[in-house]
Structure formats: C-alpha cells, structure tokens
Structure 1
Amino acid sequence: MSTVKIRNIVLGEGQPKIAVPNVGTNEEEILSFAKEIVAAKPDLMEWRIDYYAAGISDINKLISTSKKIRQIVDNLPILVTFRTKNEGGVLELSDDNYLNLLQAIIENRLGDAIDIELFHEEEKIKSLVQLAHNYNLVVIMSNHDFEKVPPKDVIVFRLKKMSELQADVVKMACMPHTAKDVLILLEATNEVHQAIENPLITMAMGDLGKVTRVSGQVFGSSLSFGAVGKTSAPGQLSITDLRNAENYLALHN
C-alpha cells in the first residue's frame, strides 16, 4: 500500500490516524470546537461544513471562517467535508450546488484535503479530482450507507471504483444489523487493502460497528473518526477511548 501525506501526517503507515469532526453550527461554535479539538491532539480535524448553514449560503463567510480556523489549529491538517443529506448530512443541496460548492472549496483551498462523494455525475467527479490535485489538495472519496451493509462484492467494487477515479484515499461507511454484516465489511476491507495501492478508510456504524473503528490496523483501514464532545455519526467513540483501544491493539513487527 502506498502512503498519502496530508500536511504533516501520513496515511498508510504506522497506526491508523485519528480524525475529529468539527460540527459547529455557527462561527462561534466552530472556533470554540476547533480549540477543544486542538487540545485533544488528534492527527486531523474534519470540518463538517454541512452543519454550517450560514457558510454554505455565503462562500465569503465560509472563506473567512476557514482562515480563523487555520489560525487556531496551526499545522493540524484539515479535511473539509460537505456530507449530502442522502449520505447522512444535515443540509439538502442539489447535485449542481454540491459540485459547485466543492469547486469553491478547492479553488479557495479551505483545507488540506476534501471529501468527494462517489455517487455524483462521473465526469464532474473526475474533473473535481483533477482540480483538487492541481491545487495540491488530497482527495478522500467516500460512500455512506446508513441503512445497511451492502454485499461484499458491492463494497469492493465501490472502493476500487474510487481508486480508478484517481482518489488518493477511498472511504466506505455503512450500517450493520448483525455480526455477519460487520464481518462482511471487514472481509471487504481486507480484500481491497490487498488489491489497491490507496490507503483506505472503512467503518461500520452504530454499537455493532464499534469494533471496526478500532481494528483498522488489523484489516487495513488507515484512519478512524473519534469525537471530542458531539459526535457526527452513530457509534463514534471519544478520541480518548479510540486512542486507548488503538494503542492496545497496536501491531509490533
């Protein structure tokens, strides 16, 4: 597996890295959460801008807030994510508006990495990936299923498709209903880890899926999401619990 550098961290080597979501709904909350996140010392901060309605409706406000965040977090890498409603986000955007927003995020370089969802018009996705690379942003391509865990071959196909679309990192999250669902995701993760060069991120959500959030180093997932205060997905562990579990499971070659 090759590695991907996001500012000062490297995905795909050592223990899985830990990202903490910033889910502030206004600038004051966002900046306050940023300070708390820095104090918790994660590897990366995910700025979930779908929680920030005022910033989505005013790109200049989004840009201004991003500059204030950078002053607070200093050299901590920032992943900028607008999660669409269909994939678990909190704001509804048309396809065109979503894609235009991603273009603005890239061209104004609001972070070090950007999340691009797989299920949008393929040629436009390809164009955004190329644009992000032109601006030296890392692309994490993603797909989220909050209803179920798809069959293993579907998970494998989607993750490989993201790799074919030139994503730097590929991500899949889904909702298990049985222990077998969790095993399906872990088997798919292991298979894709052996098949592609990209670092990958997978997780099963909810209580059943908690094991997948801490076992990445065993099955090939390179990053997990922990919470400082408010979570952004069901089953998300606190950064403290996540770090303790990862250290306990650390592989020593």
Structure 2
Amino acid sequence: MNLPIEKSLIIVGSISTRYGVKTAFDNHLAVDLLEYRLDSILLDMNVKETLEELQSTLGCRTLPALLTIRSKKEGGLLQLSDDQRIELFERLYPFVDSVDLEWQEFPKVFEVYSLYKKGGKKIILSIHSLDRFLNLETLLSSLPEIKRLEADFVKLAVRIEELSQLKTLTNLFFSYPDIPWALMGIGKYSTLSRIVLSALGSRLVYGYVDKPAALGQPSVFDLKESFLRLGIIGKER
C-alpha cells in the first residue's frame, strides 16, 4: 500500500498501546497514515504477542502503515538493544509501508535503511531535541549528508518554549525549500507549531490515536477540527 505522497499535507495517527492496535481499524480515523510506536506498544505486550498481533492486523490494513521504534535516547519508552531494534525492523518489514529512522542513531540502523530503501518503502529521517531547542549550527552542518540519503521526509521534532523558537523553525523551512521537511514542536507550543508549520507547507503532521506519543501532542480528532476551522484542509478530508 502506498503513502499518499501527492498530498500537500499527510496526517499521521500515532498508535502507542495494545488498545490502539486493536481498535485503529474499527474507527473512521481522519488520517492518511498510521504510525505504530513499537517501543511503546511493547510495554503492554511481549515481543511474540506483539509481532503476532501486528502481523495479523497489518495484513488486512486499509491505511498505509509507518513503523517507528524509538531509542531511549530519542524518547523511546522501552530500553532495547541495537540488535533487538534491528531485528524488529526486519521482522515487520513485509507488513509496513514506511519506516522512521533516527538521524543521530543512523550508523546503527544503516542496514535497516538499506533494506527499506531497496524495497521501495518510504523513509522518514527523524531528528529530535526533547529537552531543549535544537542546536541549529549542528543541524545545518549535517544537511549535506542528510540530503544525500534522499529520505522521503526529514522530520524535526524539537522542544519549543518561546514563540521566537517557532519563528526559527519557519525560517529553516523557507531557507532550505529543497528538503521535504516535517517540522513540529513539542511541549508548550506543540499544537500551535503543528497548525502554523502545516499551514506553511510542512509535509507531515502527527496526532495521537490512543495516547500522546510526545509531550503536548494533540489527538488526530483535535487536529482535524482545528485544520478544518482554519481552512488548512478541506471538508473532504
């Protein structure tokens, strides 16, 4: 199943619990892509149960699926070794349409990137700064290598505590228009950042289906209501 890559804004519904896995397809969700946060789902289930349930659910999916296994350093909720994460990425490869890989951990997951890239799956390259605003100089020095990897989206999720920091993200977006940005804030200005950056052209916007996957993350239902009210998306969505 292909991602609706032609859409100017792709709404991602994040699933973080066993309940979410079971009910996602029973609801009429206002999303284009379902993200499975495996590092969180595994808190409710053991690996064997999780793989069996996910493979069964994803085998009859009606929406494209994104696999995310966040490391503890990048905000993951479960301590997994690099080998464990790689094995899970490989085991679920046939059942998903895209994968989220962390730029700061990229050398550890390069073989996962190669597997998904060669298989024609979509790649989201993520950069996080969870407890403070990003080091802009470090990011800019990394952009040539990030561009060389030809990810389908470059996701930047950073803590925003001041409106001036949101302005910095908008400046970054317009300064490097050749990068397929998915920009968002976490924390105090989480919802506002999603509205502003999505309106400007940021390609992905995340909301939760069952519980927030990041500090301040709004639900997909609240996102849709705000976007409809502001005219960011049309009623057909």
| TM-score grouping bracket, smaller chain normalisation | 0.7 to 0.9
| Residue 51 of structure 2 corresponds to residue 63 of structure 1 | yes
Give 2:178's match in structure 1, choosing from 174, 183, 195: 195
Q: Secondary structure at the match of 1:105?
A: helix
In structure 2, what is the Cα distance between the partners aligned to 1:127 and 1:95? 12
How far residue 206 of structure 1 moved from its aligned partner, in angstroms, is 1.6
Identity %: 24
In structure 2, what is the Cα distance between the partners aligned to 1:127 and 1:56? 26
Taking the TM superposition and a 5 Å limit, the aligned residue runs for 1:125-204 are 125-158=109-142, 160-192=144-176, 194-196=177-179, 199-204=180-185
How far residue 19 of structure 1 moved from its aligned partner, in angstroms, is 0.8
Q: Secondary structure at the match of 2:211?
A: coil
Aligned residue number for residue 118 of structure 1 = 103
Q: Deviations over 1:101-126 (max 9, x none)?
A: 323333xx23111111112253x544
| Residue 211 of structure 2 corresponds to residue 230 of structure 1 | yes
Q: Secondary structure at the match of 2:187?
A: coil
- Taking structure 1 as the reference length, what is the TM-score of the superposition? 0.79
| Residue 27 of structure 2 corresponds to residue 20 of structure 1 | no
| Residue 222 of structure 2 corresponds to residue 241 of structure 1 | yes
Shift in CA distance, 226/179, structure 1 to aligned 2, threshold 3 Å: same
User: What's the Cα RMSD here?
Assistant: 2.7
Give 1:83's match in structure 2, choosing from 44, 62, 70: 70
Aligned residue number for residue 44 of structure 1 = 33
In structure 1, what is the Cα distance between the partners aligned to 2:184 and 2:144? 16
Q: Secondary structure at the match of 1:171?
A: strand
Aligned residue number for residue 3 of structure 1 = none
In structure 2, what is the Cα distance between the partners aligned to 1:232 and 1:77? 19
Q: In structure 1, what residue type is equivalent to 2:78?
A: L
Q: In structure 1, what residue type is equivalent to 2:90?
A: Q
In structure 2, what is the Cα distance between the partners aligned to 1:189 and 1:157? 16
Q: Secondary structure at the match of 1:237?
A: coil
How far residue 52 of structure 1 moved from its aligned partner, in angstroms, is 2.6
Q: Secondary structure at the match of 1:215?
A: helix
Q: Deviations over 1:142-186 (max 9, x none)?
A: 121111111333344445533322322111101112222222222
Shift in CA distance, 134/62, structure 1 to aligned 2, threshold 3 Å: farther
Structure 1 residues without counterparts, runs of 5 or longer:
1-5
Structure 2 residues without counterparts, runs of 5 or longer:
none
How far residue 231 of structure 1 moved from its aligned partner, in angstroms, is 1.3
Q: In structure 2, what residue type is equivalent to 1:135?
A: G
Shift in CA distance, 227/126, structure 1 to aligned 2, threshold 3 Å: closer
In structure 2, what is the Cα distance between the partners aligned to 1:55 and 1:113? 23
Shift in CA distance, 121/79, structure 1 to aligned 2, threshold 3 Å: closer
> Alignment length, in residue pairs?
233
Aligned residue number for residue 216 of structure 1 = 197
Judge conservation of contact 1:7–1:75 (CA < 8 Å) in 2: no
